[in-house]
Chains A and B, each alone.
Chain A
Amino acid sequence: MRKLLLTASIIAIGAAVMPASAETVRWARNSDSLTLDPHSQNQGVTHTFAHHIYETLVDREVDGSLIPRLATDWSVKADDPNVWVFKLREGVKFHDGADFTAEDVVFSLDRARSDKSNMKQLHASVESVTAVDDHTVEVKMAGPSPLYPNNLTNTFIMDKTWTEANNAVTVQEAGSADDNYAVRNANGTGPYILESRDPDVRSVLKINENHWAETKPAVTEIIFLPIADNATRVAALLSGEVDLVQDVPVQDIERLSNTAGLKVETGPENRFIYFGYRVSEAPLKTSNITDKNPLSDVRVREAMHLAIDRNAIKQVVMRGQSMPTGVANPPFVNGWTPELDAYPEKADIEGAKKLLADAGYADGFTITLDTPNNRYINDEAISQAVVGMLGQIGIKVTLASRPVTQHSPLIQNEETDFYLLGWGVPTFDSAYVFNDLIHSKEGHYGAYNPSGYSNKELDAKIQSLGTEVDLDKRNATIAEIWAKVQEDRVLLPIHNQVLAYAMKDGLSLAVHPENQPRLYNITIGQ
């Protein structure tokens, strides 16, 4: 009898778990926003959360195009190609009731490009920001910068008075001993107001009734719940304790979409996965060929390109959740074409072997591949697959797998012969890829180009992209650069990542290419 009672009471407790009301969305992903200070970290999770509280001048649509947000209009000044003019939205108020004016924009842009800000790279070419009147701001650049508005999609606007009153004018920097007010408090213009925050546990956002947008979000309350463990996060969705899971492990996508009451939305991410290799003349550090570098011969790189079966990686490693590609550029990005994107449907082992033999490596060679194992979707498994594929043409690859915190320094310090890396293109323009991955490693360029690839002619073209105002001419240059990059096989692209969001039936949220979903765009149906 007692056992019966116990069971009955447990069931009663279970029944008390209330389903969320239609307006509240409990949103789980694998890690928490690092800080509320919008200029302190240039990091996706942090930006995504901030976009609900703070707002930017311009924003990015799901299709990648720029749309107005706090700025209603922007253009290059008629008589000065170095100046961008932003018209600001009128009648906008911060959460504390203060008016949003040009003064706040000047203050925020100055703060974002200040010394301790982590956003400063995006504003490196800004010389000064001035308020023309209450709702017009001019940004003076060092030279013509046709794509500068692309850099503003994650630069949030703070209230000058609030920030000054709370002693938070200086951006909190990592490792410093001061405790910054803006790290734990927020006052933006966004559609949601921060109600409570317990880092790594839960954050609650309530709808901002005074927001300027005409259509109010369908979701009136957001409860953000970081759940680090994959299995637990999925279990929480299955048990109905969360409504939306942003980071769905690829192995669970199929099961979740077959579960009654749940659905999975997938879409391409603006991030490609590729292999890089040392192409300079000096012998490799990890090869049995010690008198020269086999990879400096473009035929060897071509052979590797042919030996990799990208469709097999998609089917086996990624369970169908990837978009194989032949170019190191996602499809949203200016400069991408279907022709560049084409890749061998099947591995051409014979052709690859022949190329290797022509280059004088009929017996192949050995090399070590450095791969991260906790950064990209199935990164280590992709590398394992490639080890097998290259083995078929006689290239014997040893795999060295490390967490990303140990992998990144190898690339920065040029200590790797062959490596896997993923690259996002936040500006949606090919120049971003060229600057860091293709340009010779010098000065501000080539930060992630440990390959030793250096082509002065190409470098000059890449640099010209930064200041060319004639967009047709600029696009022609981009096409020329891509042609050369493909011909030289500078990079070995594998695929674009695909994102998956799982949610309750009734919710509807499209996948955001930068993995920054906006919950105010959720529509609720029946």
Chain B
Amino acid sequence: MLAFILRRLAQSIVVMGVVALISFMLFRYVGDPVASLLGQDSRLEDFEDLRQRLGLNDPFYVQFGRFVGNALQGEFGISYRLQTPVTELIMSRLPATIELAFASALIALVFGLSLGVFTALKPRSFLTGVVMTLSLVGVSLPTFLIGIGLIYVFAVELQWLPSFGRGQVVDLGWWKTGLLTESGLRSLILPAITLSLFQLTLIMRLVRAEMLEVLRQDYIKFARARGLSNRAINFGHALKNTMVPVITITGLQLGSVIAFSIVTETVFQWPGVGSLFINSVQVVDVPVMAAYLMFIAFVFVVINLIVDILYYAVDPRLRINASGSGK
């Protein structure tokens, strides 16, 4: 187990190094940060001067080396755009993104699981048909459209919920939370639904498919023959055996929910790291972009690790295999 984790950690470091390298190579094609830093009134020598000061004239490998050196010391520089230390910027935006991601993951998991189980157990019900059709819509509509649609229905027409922002936040010192105020919770509803829809339908379809598969297995038939209650069969045996792929997908999706909340955050002006990233891309704020991509790589690496460890916990067969082969 320990060896397994260590091996995974080593792989993770390689992954992050590669992400840093690739993103740095891409930055050269995003544009010239100096063009957006200096205004129309600036002279050519100002441009040259600033480029020199920012080290943009150095060869690629020098810039990359400098970045890695600083990053290893936890130093990501100052945002060109907001003139604030990048680490501080990301940390101050992170709570918003994490609260949004977990809220939407929760919605996706609760509704995805229950709808998945329902549609598997009652495959011929009329409601199942409705749910399955709607889920197709959920998978195929782009997030952007869903967000705007929800805003127009619930904020503009019905005026039930706010259309943008995070509402009132409470500062706990190290974490600004919107979960403790009414306006904060209300602001969370629309973005969380928007962000969760895709994962929700994905989980639902996955659970349904796995469940239908498991329900055909011999041990379920045997359990029925023994006269176990439906409840014990469906939830104690069938559902439990469908969980391994569900955990994998949910875990990985949680990573992408955090990473790709960009669209949702932009549509709802949610002050998280995703909208920070988009604003930074527009003005080629390299320090923020670099730090953000490293952060996202880190999130994926950590989540992957946790998912691998969870396998051990959920599926006894993996443990047997591991000990059986003497590792």
Contact = CB atoms under 8 A, between A and B. Distances in A.
Interface of A: 10-11, 13-14, 16-17, 31, 34-35, 37, 40-43, 118, 121-122, 172-177, 179-180, 183-184, 198-202, 225-229, 231-233, 235-236, 238-241, 374, 402-406, 408-409, 412, 423-424, 426, 436, 444, 447-448
Nearest to A44: B39
- List 3 tightest A-B contacts by C-beta distance, closest first: A405-B31, A408-B35, A42-B39
B50 interface: yes
A228 B280 CA distance: 12
Given A121-B46, A200-B271, 18 more contacts: A17-B162, A40-B83, A173-B53, A175-B50, A200-B279, A201-B165, A225-B165, A229-B266, A231-B151, A232-B269, A233-B164, A235-B152, A235-B163, A239-B156, A241-B164, A404-B35, A405-B30, A447-B42
B148 interface: yes
A235 B47 CA distance: 39
B38 A118 contact: yes
Contacts of B47: 412
A202 B96 CA distance: 14
B83 A174 contact: yes
A291 to B, nearest CB: 31
A121 B155 CA distance: 46
Interface in B158-197: 158-166, 182, 186
Interface in B63-90: 77-78, 80-85
A198 B42 contact: no
Contacts of B269: 225-229, 232
A253 B43 CA distance: 37
B83 A180 contact: yes
23 contacts: A35-B82, A43-B39, A179-B83, A200-B82, A200-B271, A200-B275, A225-B165, A228-B279, A229-B266, A231-B267, A232-B267, A232-B268, A232-B269, A235-B152, A239-B151, A241-B163, A403-B282, A404-B31, A405-B32, A405-B35, A408-B36, A409-B31, A447-B42
Contacts of B53: 173, 175-176
Contacts of A34: 81-83
B166 to A, nearest CB: 7
Given A175-B78, A405-B35, A229 B267 contact: yes
Contact of B36 (A241, A405, A426): A405
B33 A42 contact: no
A176 B41 CA distance: 21
B164 A227 contact: yes
A200 B80 CA distance: 14
A174 B165 contact: no
Contact of A238 (B36, B82, B156): B156
B142 to A, nearest CB: 13
A236 B85 contact: no
Nearest to A36: B83
B62 interface: no
B267 A444 contact: no
A373 to B, nearest CB: 12
Nearest to B151: A235
Given A118-B39, A175-B78, A231-B148, A406 B271 contact: no
Contacts of B78: 175-177, 179
B181 to A, nearest CB: 12
A13 B160 contact: yes
Contacts of B325: none
Given A13-B160, A14-B159, A199-B84, A409 B35 contact: yes
A444 B279 CA distance: 32
A436 B44 CA distance: 11
B155 A239 contact: yes
Nearest to B38: A118
A231 B147 CA distance: 10
Contact of A409 (B32, B43, B278): B32
Name, among B41, B43, B282, the residue most crowded by chain A CB atoms within 10 Å (CB to CB). B41
A225 to B, nearest CB: 7
Contacts of B162: 17, 239, 241
A198 B268 CA distance: 17
B140 interface: no
Contact of B43 (A14, A41, A121, A200): A121
A24 to B, nearest CB: 16
Interface residues of B, number: 55
A17 B43 contact: no
Nearest to B41: A121
B182 A13 contact: yes
B283 interface: yes
A403 B163 CA distance: 28
A172 B41 contact: no
Contacts of A241: 155, 162-164
Contact of A198 (B38, B267, B271): B271
B163 A239 contact: yes
A235 B42 CA distance: 37
A284 B142 CA distance: 43
A37 B82 CA distance: 11
Interface string B270-288: 0100011011001110000
Which of A121, A122, A423 is packed against the most chain B CB atoms within 10 Å?
Answer: A121
B75 to A, nearest CB: 9
Contacts of B161: 14
Which among B40, B266, B275 has the highest number of chain A CB atoms within 10 Å? B40
A42 B43 CA distance: 13
Contacts of B278: 228
Nearest to A11: B160
A365 B162 CA distance: 54
Interface in B264-321: 266-269, 271, 275-276, 278-279, 282-284
A423 B182 CA distance: 46
A356 to B, nearest CB: 34
B9 to A, nearest CB: 31
A116 to B, nearest CB: 10
Could you say which of B36, B85, B148 has the most chain A C-beta atoms within 10 Å of its C-beta?
B36
Nearest to B155: A239
Nearest to A424: B40
B54 interface: yes
B155 A423 contact: no
A374 B42 CA distance: 20
Contact of B165 (A202, A404, A405, A426): A202
B276 A200 contact: yes
A423 B266 contact: no
Contact of A201 (B50, B80, B159, B271): B271
A13 B81 CA distance: 38
A374 B35 CA distance: 14
A121 B45 CA distance: 11
Nearest to A122: B41
B36 A404 contact: yes
B194 to A, nearest CB: 12
Nearest to B158: A14
A403 to B, nearest CB: 6
B82 to A, nearest CB: 5
A301 B137 CA distance: 53
Nearest to A119: B41
B287 to A, nearest CB: 8
Contacts of A227: 164, 269
Contact of B84 (A175, A179, A424): A179
